[in-house]
Amino acid sequence: MKYKTLGKSGLLVSELCLGAMTFGKEVTEADSIRMIHNFLDQGGNFIDTADVYVGGESEKIVGNAIKERRSEVVLATKVRMRVGPHPNDFGYSRRRILEGVDQSLKRLNTDYIDLYQLHVWDNLTPIEETIRTLDDLVSSGKVRYIGCSNFLAWQMMKALSYSDFHNMVRFISIQPQYSLINREMDREILPLCREENVGVIPWAPIGGGFLTGKYKQGESPTTGRLSEGVGESSWENRDNDKNFKILQTVQEIAQAVDKTPAQVSLRWLLQKEEITSPIFGASSLEQFNENMGSVDWELTAEQWNQLDEVSKLPSEYPTRFLEKFQR
């Protein structure tokens, strides 16, 4: 397992991040703890969860799993989504963040969070209030670093600018959806992250399971996340000609290198310069072991470029216009 610094910090994280969204739902607590311990034993140190995953159960399970190994773990969680029926049970007000961090610390059975992330932009709360609150949390020691997730480029830049101008804590990472079949972040987020030295820890790196190769075009799945019909990983968003062309390329390369399609899809991300640590999930120990098989080998330059070419976005304004003036 290799390690990278997370954005503009000295914090070293493993090249793979273990996502805990399935813990307590698709995966039992016993198997979740087994996955976490196996991950740590194999050199992984980066674990991501959120206060709303399985109604807080995910955080509790992660806390139980790492209580004897806390110093080994870079622990990430998130705040923003609704956690109760009352008006102030969501968002980024000072009140909600201070309540949220204490609730997460209790469930995680720890006295600090390594990476505290804003889950989705909140258009009600001024970013000034949010950043000042996060700055206080870092000063207090409850939080070590902050990040964001699912932000637009202007939203992230607005937050970074406020932090820099007022000499306050700034985001060291962003957590966007990004994979061979979801490369929208190439337009503005990834260039911004390069410019501002922000780490990228993508979620859904195998397209919500699509890039495993177990689905067929035009045949709606009856099980798994793609069968649920909602969200980014819905079958409606996956069942198109371009995605299946990408999948075909993945499968051809997987056969050539004697790896699975999921391992090849993760490997493409691991070898992409802007990516710090893809967040992989698993609904079984078998899936966990398969995803861990994406490390300690490499695609050739030709194979990587083949995947990059088949999955790239179409040429668009203003990018194609601005490229003429690069120096």
Domain range list for the chain: 1-175
Which residue in 210, 307, 215 sits closest to 256, CA to CA?
A: 307
Residue 307 buriedness (CB in 10 A; 0-12 / 13-18 / 19+): buried
Question: What confidence tier does 323 reach under pLDDT thresholds 50, 70, 90?
Answer: confident
pLDDT score, position 239: 77
Q: Which of 53, 145, 178, 215 is catalytic?
A: 53
The two tokens of residue 296 are 């300690």
pLDDT score, position 326: 79
Average pLDDT over residues 71-88: 93
pLDDT score, position 322: 85
The two tokens of residue 124 are 């009600």
Indicate the CATH number for domain 1-175: 3.20.20.100
CA distance 215 to 244: 9
Whole-prediction pTM: 0.94
Q: Is residue 186 within 8 Å of residue 200, measured between CB atoms?
A: no
Please determine, for residue 132, whether its predicted confidence score (pLDDT) is greater than 70. Answer: yes
CA distance 287 to 79: 27
CA distance 255 to 265: 13
Query: Is residue 3 flagged as an active site residue?
Result: no
- 3-state DSSP assignment of residue 103: helix
Average pLDDT over residues 116-139: 97
